[in-house]
Amino acid sequence: MDFGLTDEQELLLSSLDELLERECPESYVADLDLHHQPPTSFRKAMHEAGFMSLGFPEEYGGMPTDAVTLVLLAERVCRQGLNNGFGLELLQAMDILEFGSTEQKDEILGLLSNGEVPFALGFTEPGAGSDNSAMATTAVHHDGMVTFKGTKTLITNALQSKYLLLMARNPEVEDKRHAISMYLVPMDAPGLTTNQLDKILWHISDSCEIFLDDVTLPESCLVGVKGNGFKQLMRNFEFERLVISATCLGLAQCAFDDAASYAAQRVQFGRPIGDFQLIQLKLTDMAIKLENIRNFVYRTAWLLDQDLPLRSQGALCKRYAAMAAFEVADEAMQIFGGVGVTVGTRVSRLWRDLRGHRFGGGTDEIMVHIAGRQIVKDHA
């Protein structure tokens, strides 16, 4: 079992370090968080340096890259304190590259190369989220056109995106598994309106309600096969869970490093608080959790690279990474004490952002729902 990095991985991480130092210092991330702005200039710099095309097929100017390398990169970017800093764009591109038309591919890849977020995923609804069978937004095909009606909510990056990758169901199809299709809908389509939701975390990504009032578009906005929308979306869910887990790992490592440095410097009773065993206990348990998350993430990525069946591995990994990473950040906050909750400290941002990963991309509980069924099935 080789836990070492290849020369290529070492050099790539070293290059990424250079870019992060130059394009993504803490002052930049803190400013984005304060002003609720997306990291567009950093994304653009990442694209120019060739990082954003990693994992893309060669025919689209990309470079096929193994999952272990991709999670190493995601971890490193997030270790800089930047939430969702790397990997999610790849997921977005894959949705379109696998199922989109030539025009859709050209449009989405063009937006990605400009550092923009090409589309928001329009999945969650007031009455449907993890329970996709309750999806109420409809797509009615007629005369070469399709008309959408319904409401989406908690849609991440809706205001930043040019498109909505909309999931909607055909009301005439009773079988829920074959009713949902995927569409690429321009955010400025007539009848589409948004309402931004204020939230306490993930400030660099906006969240919106989206109202679709008889939005009518040519049928060419369909992505992939009619009725296969959910199946298409599911294709990349395993990888999404892995990217989220690597994100949690990087953010938690950042919180740990900050807390350990603070413990070494903060003097109380004439000694750095890191000299006290209660603080050492916290740091030790945090280090163990980080090691566990890291091993879980890397091994899951390795399984993907070997084309081995993941079964419940992705859900197990996402559940553990999101929960343990938040526990690490929470203990980091405790070590910082009152300083940690003051606005502008990095640890408070990490704590907020990590909390979001316990439901973003699937709740802790739905991961149990996915993994638990599989575990029982495997032992039946």
Partner 1 sequence: MKIVVAYKWAPNPQDLEVRPDGTVDAGRAKPAVSEYDPVAFELARRLADATGGEVVGLTVGPAAIDTPLARKAALSRGLDRLVVVADDALVGADSTRLAVVLAAAVRGIGDVDVVLTGDSSIDVAEGQVPLTLAGHLGWLGLARVAAVEAADGGLVVERDLPAGVSVLHVAGPVVLAATADAVVPRVAGMKDILAAAKKPVEALALAALDVPAPGTALTTLATARPSQGERRRVVLEGPTAVADLVAALDLAGAR
Q: Count of H helices and E strands in the chain?
A: 12, 10
335 — phi, psi (to 5°)?
Answer: -65, -35
Using the rule CB under 8 A, give the single segment among 6-14, 84-92, 319-327, 369-377 that binds partner 1: 6-14
- For residue 87, is it left (φ>0), alpha (ψ between -120 and 50) or beta? left
Q: Which of 256, 281, 260 is nearest to 272 (CA)?
A: 260
Total binding residues for partner 1 by CB under 8 A? 18
Residue 15 touching partner 1 (CB under 8 A): yes
Residue 222 touching partner 1 (CB under 8 A): no
Residue 14 touching partner 1 (CB under 8 A): yes
Shortest Cβ 69–partner 1 spacing (Å): 8
Site for partner 1 in 53-82 (CB under 8 A): 54, 63, 65
Closer CB to partner 1, 4 or 344, in the complex = 4
Rounded CA-CA distance 200/210 in Å is 20
Among 18, 103, 106, 214, binds partner 1 (CB under 8 A): 18
Using the rule CB under 8 A, give the single segment among 14-22, 97-105, 170-178, 304-312 that binds partner 1: 14-22
Using the rule CB under 8 A, give the single segment among 17-25, 249-257, 316-324, 369-377 that binds partner 1: 17-25
User: Which parts of the chain fold into alpha helices (H)?
Assistant: 7-23, 26-35, 40-48, 67-79, 88-99, 102-113, 229-234, 237-265, 277-305, 313-336, 346-356, 364-378
**Sequence letter at residue 286:** M
Q: Are strands 180-186 and 222-223 parallel, antiparallel or unpaired?
A: antiparallel
Closer CB to partner 1, 58 or 175, in the complex = 58
Rounded CA-CA distance 41/26 in Å is 14
Rounded CA-CA distance 112/119 in Å is 10
Rounded CA-CA distance 75/57 in Å is 22
Which residues does 182 contact at the CB level (< 8 Å), separation at least 6?
Answer: 95, 99, 165, 166, 167, 222, 223, 224, 228, 229, 232, 233
Closer CB to partner 1, 100 or 274, in the complex = 274
Closer CB to partner 1, 19 or 140, in the complex = 19
Among 1, 7, 143, 293, binds partner 1 (CB under 8 A): 7
Residue 49 touching partner 1 (CB under 8 A): yes
Residue 234 touching partner 1 (CB under 8 A): no
Residue 342 touching partner 1 (CB under 8 A): no
Using the rule CB under 8 A, give the single segment among 10-18, 100-108, 333-341, 352-360 that binds partner 1: 10-18
Residue 377 touching partner 1 (CB under 8 A): no
User: Which residues of the shown chain bind partner 1 in the complex (CB under 8 A)?
Assistant: 7-8, 10-12, 14-19, 22, 49-51, 54, 63, 65
